[in-house]
């Protein structure tokens, strides 16, 4: 995956080769070392180290008072975190699987998102809610959802999604430092993938948290994606080279607020846009992006904005998920349809 270039003059001790999961673990550890008010809480995050081992070793090193194993009650986890946040702590809640966030939905949209506005800015809610999301792991129902559009639609929340190890390391720390509540979506299928390993310079200057990034330059068409779909878009761009097509790929990174300036600039050059996401297409982030690009780049478009998404159905059983998820063939087909317009 494309990542910021490492300064070769940096001492070797500051550069580590890490998977996305290990990068998140190191980012959490770094944030906890820097600020004693950072607290990690969630189901099995302590002794077990989380179901995906993202919090492995943190309770051992920071103690049970800072890494809390909670009951299986998402509403209680988030409600408790709200109280901690307004009292000056910076809680980081882990929702064990994406589909488990819905029992906590009321707390998020009714309390977390509204407290700052309700108190006319007097109360801040520096709360991070980590959400492993997306499919591709062969799981059962409620374990492969893409609920990000619900929260991007909710005023008062910030929503981000990392797609690679470098961003995972820096973005989790930036989210924790943010005084606003942040929904932090993580592509769980890539937590421990060897091909997602990256060299992380822990002394580098990170990019802003709420900024999109061009991860591959091109001139034929623009692909926009986030989270697990970024790899699909990059693979499609590589495959398209065989047909002489140069596809530009943009990783959104921030889902609310959206940073679409790089997308507008790219579409004005290429004239074509394909948006890729695992979430269903109806009333989604891909819909918003298509509408905004149509509004801002109307006279530059050579073809309608096309979307490659999950289908408008509940997430299917594991044996059918490969038919549901956007893949290389579906993205390349969309590119071909755009070019043929």
> Among all residues, which ones are annotated catalytic?
143
Token pair 């073809």 is found at 303
Q: Report the distance separating Cα 229 and Cα 243, nearest Å.
A: 22
Token pair listed for 164: 């690679």
Peptide bond into 257 cis (omega under 30): yes
Write down how long the chain is: 341
CB neighbour class for 44 (10 Å; exposed up to 12, middle 13-18, buried from 19) = middle
Whether residue 32 contacts residue 174, with contact meaning beta carbons closer than 8 Å, is answered with: no
Q: Report the distance separating Cα 299 and Cα 113, nearest Å.
A: 37
Q: Which residues have C-beta within 8 Å of that of residue 333, sequence separation ≥ 6?
A: none
Q: Which residues have C-beta within 8 Å of that of residue 173, sequence separation ≥ 6?
A: 27, 30, 31, 206
**DSSP β-ladder status, 213-216 and 221-225:** unpaired
Q: Report the distance separating Cα 241 and Cα 106, nearest Å.
A: 47
Instruction: Provide the 8-state DSSP code for 301.
Output: -
Strands (E), the chain: 15-18, 38-42, 67-69, 90-94, 128-133, 158-161, 182-187, 198-201, 213-216, 221-225, 247-251, 254-256, 273-280, 306-310
Instruction: Provide the 8-state DSSP code for 175.
Output: H
Strands (E), 198-305: 198-201, 213-216, 221-225, 247-251, 254-256, 273-280
């Amino acid at each position: 995956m494309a990542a910021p270039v490492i300064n070769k003059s940096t001492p070797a001790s500051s550069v580590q080769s890490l998977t996305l999961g290990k990068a998140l673990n190191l980012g959490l550890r770094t944030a906890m070392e820097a600020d004693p008010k950072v607290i990690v809480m969630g189901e099995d995050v302590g002794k077990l180290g989380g179901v995906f081992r993202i919090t492995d070793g943190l309770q051992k090193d920071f103690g049970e008072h800072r890494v809390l194993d909670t009951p299986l009650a998402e509403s209680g986890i988030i409600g408790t975190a709200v109280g901690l946040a307004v009292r000056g702590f910076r809680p980081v809640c882990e929702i064990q699987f994406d589909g488990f966030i819905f029992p906590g939905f009321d707390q998020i949209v009714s309390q977390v998102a509204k407290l700052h506005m309700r108190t006319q800015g007097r109360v801040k809610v520096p709360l991070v809610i980590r959400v492993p999301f997306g499919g591709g792991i062969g799981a059962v129902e409620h374990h492969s959802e893409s609920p990000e559009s619900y929260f991007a639609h909710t005023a008062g929340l910030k929503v981000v999604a990392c797609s690679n190890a470098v961003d995972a390391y820096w973005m989790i720390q930036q989210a924790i430092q943010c005084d606003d509540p942040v929904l932090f979506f993580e592509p769980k299928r890539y937590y421990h993938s060897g091909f997602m390993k990256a060299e992380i310079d822990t002394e580098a200057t990170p990019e802003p948290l709420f900024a999109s990034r061009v991860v591959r330059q091109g001139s034929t068409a623009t692909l926009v994606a986030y989270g697990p779909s970024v790899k699909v878009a990059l693979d499609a761009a590589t495959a398209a080279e065989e047909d002489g097509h140069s596809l530009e790929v943009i990783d959104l990174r921030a889902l609310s607020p959206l940073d679409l300036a790089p997308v507008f600039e790219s579409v004005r050059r290429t004239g074509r846009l394909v948006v890729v996401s695992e979430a269903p297409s109806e009333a989604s982030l891909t819909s918003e992006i298509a509408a905004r690009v149509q509004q801002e780049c109307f006279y530059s478009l050579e073809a309608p904005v096309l979307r490659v998404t999950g289908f408008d159905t509940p997430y299917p059983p594991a044996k059918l998920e490969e038919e549901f998820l956007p893949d290389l063939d579906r993205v390349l087909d969309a590119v071909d349809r755009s070019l043929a317009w």
